[in-house]
Amino acid sequence: MDALAPGEYKRYAITADGISPRARQGHPNTVFTVTSDEHTETGRIEDEDAANRIAQHEKRMRKIETMKPEMRMPEWYGPKNAPITLMGWGATRHAIREAVDLLNADGVKANALHFIDIYPLDEARLEKELAKAQHLIDIEGNYTAQLAQVVRVYTGRAVDDKILKYNGRPFSGVEIANTVKIRMKHAAPRVAKISHNGHGGNAKKTSKRKVHA
Amino acid sequence: MIDVKVMPEFKLTPKSYEGEREVTWCPGCGDFGILNAVKQSLAQLQIPPYQAYFVSGIGCGSKLPDYVHSNGFLGLHGRSLPMAQGAKLANHDLKVIVTVGDGDAYGIGAGHFVHALRRNSDITMIVEDNKVYALTKGQYSPTSTKGWVASTTPDGAIEIEFNPVVMAIAGGATFVARTFSGDPKHMAATFAKAIQHKGFALVDVLQSCVVYNLVNTVEWYRPRVYKLDDDASYNPRDYNTAMAKAHEWGDRIPIGVLYVEEGRPTYEDQVKALEKGALVKQPLGGYSKATWDEFRASMM
């Protein structure tokens, strides 16, 4: 009555790219189980078969390599080859864009690098993007600079400065722009790293100052 | 009583659902009987393997779908009901059958259980209730008797036992039954009734565990259980009668269909999107790729 005999359809077939062809359950010609436990190619629970485990695990991990070329690189905003690049991800996107516009309007040439996809991280392509950044400032709404850590771990590129905010409130564009100006005023040309406590600057006192980047 | 409609042209047999795998349960486990009864009930109802959909969690009982030639989803511990209800929403042409143990159903999955009861999805939930966490070596489960001594309760369980059939009736299940792993025919018939029922059906199976429950054995149950099905005066459609029966436990334990409510619309009946047929067979929303791209761009 069924086109395939029990155990014939391989839901988890070992493939070169790691992706196994998927049939929908409920089709008259395929009957199969899927399992949260380690499974055989046919989706049955593996009974202590280490060779199967290795084959299935390697198949799954090959998917990561298959995915990498499809991952979106961080997007650039603002003038090319700017001496300052603001790096961010997620909800800071619009505040960072506003800050870039404010800075450029004030004569501080800056651009932004906004991460959309993170994992699986395509190290080779990302390194090329990061190489375009000169003074790289990480803007994040957390204490530990999570994105900067990921970037460092996978590409070796350390950020030159970090502006971190963790008082539970969102960044504003003005706040970022002003903090960048203060930081750049004290920044030695390019290489030096600045030690700081990660809090924003005093907007009233510094908003009119020009920064010599 | 509720009769099972057996198709006149009998083509599928219990063998039609036989999996290709070696069963790894302990010799003497009540699960063997339950597995056979499940196959029997499917054959009685002539449900082809591709139209059944087994969902389970983690545990000895949850391995049942692995031994059946049918569709199955062996998911995470306690999460079988969300999966089953989702599967039913995606393709309500399937007969969705949950097969889990008492720990998965009433312990880890307790939160899902109470909401599944009131939701009345057209699914069948078979609980292999041996009153103990057997796969993880005998810790006390929600249905263990108060005072149950096990590795995690050396001085005896402090909690009183959970009564699944009372809970199911109170919670809004439209079919509540109990059966016994020592009676294969009763099991198969009860499963068949539950599968045929339109709405959420719970079957709590009193089951032995030959390793970790040496109290509630087949020998312990056999003289105690009696069949409601034999009692013509018992009316499972009366809520109060059913509730009283559901509380009965000890020297006499009722098995059979405790409670039935017919005619209440199922969850799927009331989802507008399913009016045109099974979701999986409907075209995708009618949006073009350009529309999706535009939508995505607007989100970025």
pLDDT at residue A202 greater than cutoff 60: no
Interchain proximity B72–A33, CB inside 8 Å:
yes
Residue B154 domain flag: yes
Residue of B nearest to A93 (CA): B300
The answer as to CATH 3.90.1200.10 being correct for domain A75-206 is: no
Q: What is the pLDDT of residues B243-259, one digit of tens each?
A: 999 999 999 999 999 99
Residue B41 has pLDDT above 60, yes or no: yes
For residue A190, the model assigns a pLDDT of: 47
Q: A34 at the B interface (CB within 8 A)?
A: yes
Q: Which residues of B touch A2 (CB under 8 A)?
A: 48-50
Which among B73, B95, B71 is positioned nearest to B82, based on CA atoms?
A: B73
| CA pair distance A8, A24, nearest whole angstrom | 15
**Per-residue b/e over B46-60, b at no fewer than 16 CB within 10 Å?**
bbbbbbbbbbbbbbb
Which pLDDT band, with edges at 50, 70 and 90, does A189 fall under?
low
For an interface test with B, give the residue of A2, A30, A36, A96 to mutate (most B CBs within 10 A): A36
Indicate whether B157 belongs to any domain: yes
Contact A111, A87 (CB under 8 A): no
Here the tokens at position B92 are 């309500």
Local confidence band at B5 (pLDDT 50, 70, 90 cut-offs): low
Tokens standing for B137?
A: 């070596």
Contacts of A116 in chain B (CB under 8 A): 300
Could you tell me whether strands B201-206 and B123-129 are parallel, antiparallel, or unpaired per DSSP bridges? parallel
Confirm or reject contact between A4 and chain B (CB < 8 A): no
Cβ contacts of B49 on chain A, cutoff 8 Å: 1-2, 31
Closest-approach residue (CA) in chain B for A36: B75
Q: What is the mean pLDDT of residues B59-67?
A: 95
Residue A6 reports pLDDT greater than 90:
no
Residue B95 in any domain: the answer is yes
B291: which 2 tokens? 């529309």
Which one of A27, A44, A93 would you mutate to disrupt binding with B, by most B Cβ within 10 Å of its Cβ?
A44
CATH 3.40.50.920, chain A: domain bounds? 75-206
What's the whole-number mean pLDDT along residues B54-65? 96
- B164 and B204 in contact (C-beta within 8 Å)? yes
Distance CA A108, CA A209 (A): 11
Please give the Cα distance from B279 to B274 (Å, whole number).
6
Q: Which domain holds residue B177?
A: 14-299
d(CA B66, CA B74): 8
Neighboring chain B residues of A45 at a CB cutoff of 8 Å: 21, 63, 66, 74
Q: Which of residues 107-166 of A touch B (CB under 8 A)?
A: 116
CA distance B36 to B34: 5
Q: Which tokens in the block code for residue B178?
A: 């109990």
In whole angstroms, what is the distance from residue A183 CA to residue A135 CA? 11
Give the ipTM of the model, two decimals please: 0.84
Cα-based angle B110, B114, B115 (whole degrees, multiple of 5): 120
Q: Residue A58, CB half-sphere, CA atoms under 13 Å: how many? A: 9
Q: Provide the number of CB pairs (under 8 Å) joining chain A to chain B.
A: 74
Is the Cβ pair B93, A26 closer than 8 Å?
yes
CB atoms within 10 A of CB A14: 14
- Interchain CB distance below 8 Å, A33 and B11: no
Cβ atoms of B115 and B167 closer than 8 Å: no
Contact check, Cβ <8 Å, B71/A31: yes
Instruction: Locate the chain B residue with the closest alpha carbon to A43.
Output: B66
Q: Give the pLDDT score at A111.
A: 98
CA gap A104, A96 in Å, rounded: 12
Question: What average pLDDT is seen over chain A?
Answer: 88
How wide is the angle at C-alpha B191 spanned by C-alphas B8 and B187, nearest 5°?
A: 105
Give the least confident one: A203-207, B43-47, B222-226, B289-293. A203-207
**How far apart, in whole angstroms, are the C-alpha atoms of residue B142 and residue B32?**
23
Q: Which of A1, A25, A44 sits opposite B71 (nearest CB)?
A: A25
> How many folded domains does chain B comprise?
1
Q: How far is B299 from chain A (nearest CA, A)?
A: 11
Q: What is the tens place of the pLDDT at every residue in B168-219? A: 999 999 999 999 999 999 999 999 999 999 999 999 999 999 999 999 999 9
CATH of the domain at B198: 3.40.50.970
Q: Cα distance from A1 to chain B (closest Cα, Å)?
A: 8
Q: What is the pLDDT of residue A48?
A: 87
pLDDT of residue B290: 87
Query: What pLDDT score was predicted for residue A197?
Result: 47
Shortest CA gap B119–chain A (Å): 23
**Residue B67 forms part of a structural domain:** yes
Q: Which residues in chain A have their CB less than 8 angstroms from residue B24's CB? A: 47
A35 to chain B: which residues are within 8 Å by CB? Answer: 66, 74
Nearest-CA distance B43 → chain A (Å): 13
